[in-house]
Amino acid sequence: MNFKELWKHYGVVVILAAYALAAVFLMPRCTKLTALENAAMEAPAQTTAELKTTPTPKPTATPKPKEPELITGTLAYAGDLVCHMGINEQAWNGTDYDYVPIMEGAAPYIQEADLAFCTLETTFPDDGDISGYPCFHSPRALAQSLKDVGFDLIEMASNHCLDAHKEGLDSTLDVLDSVGLHHVGTYRSQEERDQNSGVIVEDVNGISVAFIDYTYGTNGFPVSDYPYATNIFFDDYMEIDCADIDELNLTKIDADIEAAKALNPDVIAVCMHWGLEYHTEAVDYQHTVADHLFQQGVDLILGGHPHVPEPMEVRTVTDKDGNEKTGYLCYCMGNFLSCMNDRYTNLTGVTTIQLEKDVANGKTYLKNVSYAPLMMVDTADHGLYNGWRYKLVDLHKTIDSYWSGDSLGYINEQLYNDMLVALDDLHSIFGIQFDRFDPNYTPNEKGEMPVPAKAAATETTDQG
């Protein structure tokens, strides 16, 4: 059978089969297109502009938390200026008195601080009289030298503040004012004492520090005619050596602390002229008063008077309002300037206190405390004389210099060995852990003390 005959008999069947196959393969597509076309017809019409401007949403970036804004302020605290005649003679340069060279070993630590302060155990009387122990009268040039070396604030409440009587106290404050030195602890009038209850507030690189200054007595000079003249915390202040704990009267100082709090400072510092002379350990009443001051809300307690160093410490305390805080205490920094030569009387330092404030929450922290060991060298004690007799020296720098072969023109083996002993003595009294040059000094594993500072010996002859 040829093709024509096949087509004649089966052509219709082939055509029907082709239609069936087309229906099978094309039906889903036609159904899908029809659904899409229907949806498109039912959806609202969009313009070309609308289709082009519809943005694709971008992920929102999570803002980084702000770093806390911290400011740091530093205090430099030196000891007592006991101006014996030998110091005045050393300061005389032929035309005037200049005490800066005597203090040059301490100068870098004073000048690096935002605020530096010390205790003045002498007076500047109007008559220009100059004398040493027992009543200290010094050249007025000393005030300018203190300013030149970098001091800002002078603690005036001491047993020698009335050495030139009330008139000398007044003229001393006048001289300090004339060179731009602030002062606390003595006052010319009741009105001056009433201003902020005798409290002075200093700006320490944006951190406010309130200072209060007190003494145990006045070496037998009465203040009954002018009780405002100086701050005293013993009822028996007319005694030369006040130590009877039953005579403590802290009512006035408590009121001054409350007055300081009302000024809303970041830190409260109390300077205490206390203790017994030539004792390298604090006596009972010093412990009692220190505990009391911390409980009242004080942050820093800075002591003087014994003429020798006494221990320093950082402690955690709880104040009367239940706030836990870290406080710094130094019972005595020793003599800053003096001619004393009994053991320990020539040892001192400059303590650096670093404060840190979180600007956002207003809290201030005690960040770090350290001291630079110093010694008052009397070259006559070491068989030396090289154009000067008395000078404060930096123990670490001077010892290192001699060890490396540089005698600085005056160090001999005897003085070198004496300086080694002096450094050991300071470490045993102040604590090696606070020596700013000790490589092992680490207050804690972070190298700081970030705790809130505030929440809402042998008896010798007296020479000073």
Residue 331 has pLDDT above 60, yes or no: yes
368 and 296 in a single domain? The answer is yes
Q: What CATH code is carried by the domain that includes residue 115?
A: 3.60.21.10
Tell whether the model's pLDDT for residue 41 goes beyond 90: no
pLDDT in tens, 378-427: 999 988 877 899 999 999 999 999 999 999 999 999 999 999 999 999 99
Instruction: Give yes or no for residue 439 having a pLDDT over 70.
Output: no
In a domain, 49, yes or no: no
Residues 284 and 406 occupy one common structural domain: yes
Q: If you average pLDDT over residues 315-340, what whole number do you get?
A: 94
The domain in which residue 31 lies consists of 1-35
Q: Model confidence over 114-169: pLDDT tens digits?
A: 999 999 999 999 988 999 999 999 999 999 999 999 999 999 999 999 999 999 99
Whether residue 109 sits in one domain with residue 232: yes
Q: Based on the fold, state whether residues 4 and 80 are members of the same structural domain.
A: no
Same domain assignment for residues 26 and 128: no
Q: Are residues 376 and 321 in the same domain?
A: yes
In the chain, % of residues over pLDDT 70: 79
Residue 28 has pLDDT above 70, yes or no: no
Q: Does residue 222 form part of some domain?
A: yes
Give the H or E element holding residue 337. strand 335-337
20 and 120 co-located in one domain: no
Work out whether strand 70-81 and strand 347-358 pair parallel, antiparallel, or are unpaired. Answer: antiparallel
Query: Which pLDDT value is given to residue 170?
Result: 98
Q: Is residue 2 part of a domain?
A: yes
Residue 238: band (very low, low, confident or very high) from pLDDT cuts 50, 70, 90? confident
Is residue 63 included in any domain, yes or no? Answer: no
Q: Are residues 300 and 438 in the same domain?
A: yes
12 and 81 assigned to the same domain: no
What percentage of the chain carries pLDDT values higher than 90? 72
HEC-encoded secondary structure of the chain: CCHHHHHHHHHHHHHHHHHHHHHHHHHHHHHHHHHHHHHHHHCCCCCHHHHHHCCCCCCCCCCCCCCCCEEEEEEEEEEEECCCHHHHHHHECCCCECCCHHHCCCHHHHHCCCEEEEEECCECCCCCCCECCCCCECCCHHHHHHHHHCCCEEECCCCCCCCCHHHHHHHHHHHHHHHCCEEECECCCHHHHHHHHHCEEEEECCEEEEEEEEECCCCCCCCCCCCCCECECECCCCCCCCCCHHHECCHHHHHHHHHHHHCCCCEEEEEEECCCCCCCCCCHHHHHHHHHHHHCCCCEEEEECCCCEEEEEEEEEECCCCCEEEEEEEEEECEEECCCCCCCCCEEEEEEEEEEEECCCCEEEEEEEEEEEEEEEEHHHHCCCCCCCEEEEEHHHHHHHHHCCCCCCCCCHHHHHHHHHHHHHHHHHHHHHHECCCCCCCCCCCCCCCEECCCCCCCCCCCC
**How confident is the model at residue 25, as a pLDDT?**
43
Q: What is the mean pLDDT of residues 448-458?
A: 33
Residue 280 lies in a domain: yes
Average predicted confidence (pLDDT) for the chain: 85
pTM over 0.85: no
How many residues comprise the chain?
464
Tell me the pLDDT band of 246, cut-offs 50, 70 and 90: confident
Q: Between 287 and 59, where is the model more confident?
A: 287
User: Which carries the bigger pLDDT value, residue 31 or residue 241?
Assistant: 241
- Does residue 163 share a domain with residue 17? no
Domain assignment present for residue 50? The answer is no
Q: What was the pLDDT predicted at 304?
A: 98
Angstrom CA distances, 18 to 4, 10, 15, 21, 30, stand at 19, 13, 5, 5, 17
Whether residues 87 and 30 fall in one domain? no
> Number of structural domains, the chain?
2
Q: What is the pLDDT of residues 14-24, one digit of tens each?
A: 444 544 444 44
**Do 313 and 368 sit in the same domain of this protein?**
yes
Sorting pLDDT into bands at 50, 70 and 90, what band is 239?
Answer: confident
Query: Which stretches of 1-157 are assigned E, i.e. beta strand?
Result: 70-81, 115-120, 153-155
Provide the residue type at 194 as one letter. D
The answer to whether residue 41 is domain-embedded is no
Q: Is residue 47 part of a domain?
A: no
pLDDT digits (tens, 9 = 90+) for 187-236: 999 999 999 999 999 999 999 999 999 999 999 999 999 999 999 999 98
Q: Average pLDDT, stretch 289-307?
A: 97
